[in-house]
Amino acid sequence: MSELLQYVLTGLAVGIVYALIALGFALIWKSSSVANLALGQIVLISSWFTYSMVSGNQLGLPYWIGLPLTIGFAIFLGWVIERFTLRPLIAQPILAMITVTLGVGYFLEGLVTFLWPVSVGALPRLFPVEPVHIGPAVISQQYLWAAVISLVLFGALSIFFKYHKMGIAMRATADDQMAVQACSIPVTSVFSASWIFACIVAAIGGVLVSSIAGITNGLIETGLKSFSVVILGGLDSFIVCMVAGPIVGLCENLGGGYLTPIIGAGIKDIIPYIIIVIVVIIKPYGLFGETRIERI
């Protein structure tokens, strides 16, 4: 019983962090219909940047300076990617849009190897490590903190999208680009903003994950796994990420907990991918997504 509770709690907490990273994907997809497959690499490079700033054997700044610097870096990264790779490709076929993000991802991966050749890094502790006892379960405090921060950030972003002018413009662009342009809202700067926000969200998600588990190339997989959140949720509103994320986290941890003795170690790692295949075959537009009707 305590095992079950343990898996559920860890799953929920991890799922919320996945949801945060997936939110970064959904932001871009909603406003510009670009599928950002470089998400994992953005998570990775932001974590390494944070490492450079705050780690003891690098610059060794405290977190309260390092984190704003990381966010600044994410803003810069998002702006550069949008301005120099996506904007020249506006109105190109979807295939080009997807593959260019693959190219960006490949480039960033090379850049990471180039600048941080050590391949494994550890961030200084961001949260206390003492485990918390909830009923019979023992859960690491770090996961709870990560989940809480993700939820707060998600709330803040929701308020931004609901009330701020730019947020409203971004939602409007998601709905109908032509109409937005007719209202003299600069669509290109909306695209820029969506990339910037996506990179910020991905960077914070990356710092949360890597402060717990260290920085490795596995962060790219964390980014890829968060696609299962997007697919399961269905991309139609931001709130579905917050529902689908914990579901994926639960599946991963429960499956990892109970299937490992039956199937073998490592099943946990591919559960998100199995979810993707099942969802795409059975219910392609996700649990909450609208079925799209196309015309010739």
Partner 1 sequence: MDLPSGTRNYDYARDMAVLRTKTHWVLFTCFLIILFTAPLYLRDNVLSVLNLIGITIIAVTGLNILVGYCGQLSIGHAGFMAAGAYTSGILTSQLHWPFLAGLLLAGFSAGLIGIIFGLPSVRVKGFYLAITTIAAQFIIIWVINHWTNVTGGFNGMNVTKASIDGFVFRSQASQYFLIMAVTALCIFFAKNLARGRVGRAFIAVRDNDLAAEVMGINLLYYKLLAFFIGCFLAGIAGALQGQLYGFLNAEYFTLTTSILYIGMVIIGGVGTTIGPIIGVVVIRLLEQLITYISPFIEGAIPALSTGFTTGLGPMLFGLAIILFLILEPRGLAHRWALFKAAYRLWPFSY
3-state secondary structure string across 52-115: HHHCCCCCCCCHHHHHHHHHHHHHHHHHHHHHHHHHHHCCCCHHHHHHHHHHHHHHHHHHHHHH
Out of 63, 107, 127, 258, point to the residue binding partner 1 (CB under 8 A). Answer: 107
How buried is 224 (Cβ within 10 angstroms: 0-12 exposed, 13-18 middle, 19+ buried)? middle
* Binding flag, residue 219, partner 1 (CB under 8 A): no
178 binds partner 1 (CB under 8 A): no
The interface mask with partner 1, positions 50-89, x = CB under 8 A, is -----------------------------------x--xx
Q: Is 106 in the site for partner 1 (CB under 8 A)?
A: yes
Q: How many CB atoms lie within 10 A of CB 231?
A: 25
Cβ proximity to partner 1: between 81 and 147 the closer is 81
Based on the shown chain and the rule CB under 8 A, indicate whether residue 2 belongs to the binding site for partner 1: no
Cβ 293 to partner 1, closest distance in Å? 11
Q: Which is nearer to partner 1, 113 or 141 (CB)?
A: 113
Which range, of 53-61, 173-181, 247-255, 263-271, touches partner 1 by CB under 8 A? 263-271
Q: CB within 8 A of 30, min separation 6: which ones?
A: 170, 171, 174, 194, 235, 238
CB 81 within 8 A of CB 108: no
- Record the tokens describing residue 53, joined without a space: 């700033």
Shortest distance, CB of residue 102 to partner 1, whole angstroms?
Answer: 5
Position 223, amino acid: G
By CB under 8 A, name the one of 122, 213, 224, 287 that touches partner 1: 224
Distances from the Cα of 174 to the Cαs of 78, 94, 189, 290, in angstroms? 18, 16, 13, 14
Whole-angstrom distance, CA of residue 205 vs CA of residue 4: 26
Q: Applying CB under 8 A, does 29 fall inside the site for partner 1?
A: yes
- In the complex, the smallest distance separating the C-beta of residue 155 from partner 1, rounded to whole angstroms, is 27
Q: Does 270 bind partner 1 (CB under 8 A)?
A: yes
Using CB under 8 A as the criterion, which residues of the chain lie in contact with partner 1 when the complex forms? 29, 35, 37, 85, 88-89, 92, 94-96, 98-100, 102-117, 224, 227-228, 231, 263-266, 269-270, 273-274, 276-277, 280-281, 284-285, 294-296
